[in-house]
Structure 1
Amino acid sequence: MLLTVLDLAGIAVFAASGALAAVRARLDTFGVVVLGMTTALGGGIIRDVLLGIHPPATLRDWRYLLVPVVTSLLVFWLHPQVARLRRGVLLADAVGLGLFTVSGTATALAHGVPTYTACLIGMTAGIGGGALRDVLLREIPMVLRKEIYALAALAGGVVVVVGDQLRLPGAPVAIAGAVLIVTIRVLALWRRWNAPVARGIGT
């Protein structure tokens, strides 16, 4: 039940992130829904494929399709009330990253994979949808830029794995992992923290 709730919450938030990015790119209604669904479902589908879950959960439960469609349409209709779309996109993306990473890590652990594999699958689930969104918008995926993104997801995944190893209650551990991811992302954006990049290229 917890994994389903985390999945649906992450789908809703990532759909909002994708839809807001589509609105900012001036896509039409169909484009907003497609980008919202791609952002929301991409990471989960990648996770399920890696874990050998066939068909992926998004194709077996109607809620996984309804939630991103409804969320994307709501964002399309209500976007004039969003004062600052860029901040909204970044915040929604950070929350979605947190929810999907902890959900993906917990799902991987439930399928008996090694702890390091669970961390990597959780990170992939968290960053997958956003990467697909950026590719469709013809942007360099955020995970490949200098902003701290994948490292934040990996840190949250480690929290979930450690909590599982210590046999701590799942819900508080998942919340702690998601909060850590969101906090790192927000602080990285606020304080302009960057991962190292190569210097001297083109000089």
Structure 2
Amino acid sequence: MVPSPQALGQMLGALDLVGIAVFAASGALAATRTAQTFVTAAFFALVTGVGGGTVRDLLIGAPVFWVHGAPYAAICVAVATLVWITPEDWWRERALEWLDAAGLAAYAVFGAAKAASFGVPPFQAAVMGVLTACVGGILRDVLAGVPSILIRPELYVTAAALAAGLHVVLVAAGLPPFVAALPAAAAGFVLRGAAIRFRLALPAYRGRR
């Protein structure tokens, strides 16, 4: 039985909120693992959770989603509070990586779909999807003073590009956006999951021989 468009929309909306929460948790953990204050943890959570979507909305001329929409900022602060009051060993690195993979794939699709809905051409819409999924993590790493996801060899941005690009291609082929979203997000998640499991990486530049 194929889910209705309304049911699919609700599923994706729920995944959107889960993605925000997962990214916010990774931001808060980046602060707590370096013994920062709660205010810093909450700030890291907010920047990581909404950073990518904020940049996307500013670039496509849309109202910034967390300012005018659902209580995303409150979700980020609530997640930071949860991280702050719970034991550190509750937050296993590998489990968070898998949750982050789901959020990455979903956010890449959401970003591409939203950009397209504002009239952004297909290629640029896919780029907006990548920015939506990755900018928050980049900002988190910069603030935490750790190597950015951009310069880690393991596939991360590539998985976001696959999800966003496949969504754009499927929509261009005639699928409704809400139908194209699920296989596109699944493809991005599978690639990111394979990178986590098998440490897949793109070849590095070796310079002139």
TM-score if structure 2 supplies the norm length?
A: 0.85
**Aligned: 1:28 with 2:44:** no
- What does residue 39 of structure 1 align with? 48
Aligned residue type for 2:34:
A
**Aligned: 1:109 with 2:113:** no
Query: What does the per-residue CA deviation read over 1:22-54, in whole Å, with 9 as the maximum and x for residues that have no partner?
Result: 232332222221111110010010100110124
Tell me, in whole angstroms, the C-alpha distance in 1 between the residues paired with 2:83 and 2:29: 7
**Where does 1:78-89 land on structure 2 (aligned, <5 Å)?**
78-80=86-88, 82=90, 84=92, 86-89=93-96
Q: Is the 8 A contact 1:9 1:99 kept in 2?
A: no
- What does residue 149 of structure 1 align with? 156
SS at match of 2:137: helix
Aligned residue type for 2:78:
V
Selected match of 2:77 from 60, 69, 80:
69
Aligned-residue Cα RMSD (Å) equals 2.2
**Aligned: 1:97 with 2:84:** no
Deviation at 1:140, TM superposition (A): 2.0
Tell me, in whole angstroms, the C-alpha distance in 2 between the residues paired with 1:195 and 1:25: 30
SS at match of 1:108: helix
Q: Which moved more, 1:30-39 or 1:170-179?
A: 170-179
- What does residue 196 of structure 2 align with? 189
Aligned residue type for 2:85:
W
Aligned residue type for 2:113:
A
Q: Is the 8 A contact 1:98 1:179 kept in 2?
A: yes
Deviation at 1:122, TM superposition (A): 0.4
Q: Which moved more, 1:133-142 or 1:187-196?
A: 187-196
Q: Is the 8 A contact 1:20 1:79 kept in 2?
A: no
Tell me, in whole angstroms, the C-alpha distance in 2 between the residues paired with 1:88 and 1:72: 17
Q: Is the 8 A contact 1:47 1:104 kept in 2?
A: yes
Q: Is the 8 A contact 1:131 1:142 kept in 2?
A: yes
**Runs of at least 5 residues in structure 2 that lack an aligned partner in the other structure:** 1-5
TM-score if structure 1 supplies the norm length?
A: 0.87
Deviation at 1:171, TM superposition (A): 3.4
- What does residue 62 of structure 2 align with? 53
Tell me, in whole angstroms, the C-alpha distance in 2 between the residues paired with 1:81 and 1:174: 34
Query: What does the per-residue CA deviation read over 1:99-140, in whole Å, with 9 as the maximum and x for residues that have no partner?
Result: 211110110111111111111110111100000000001012
How many residues matched?
199
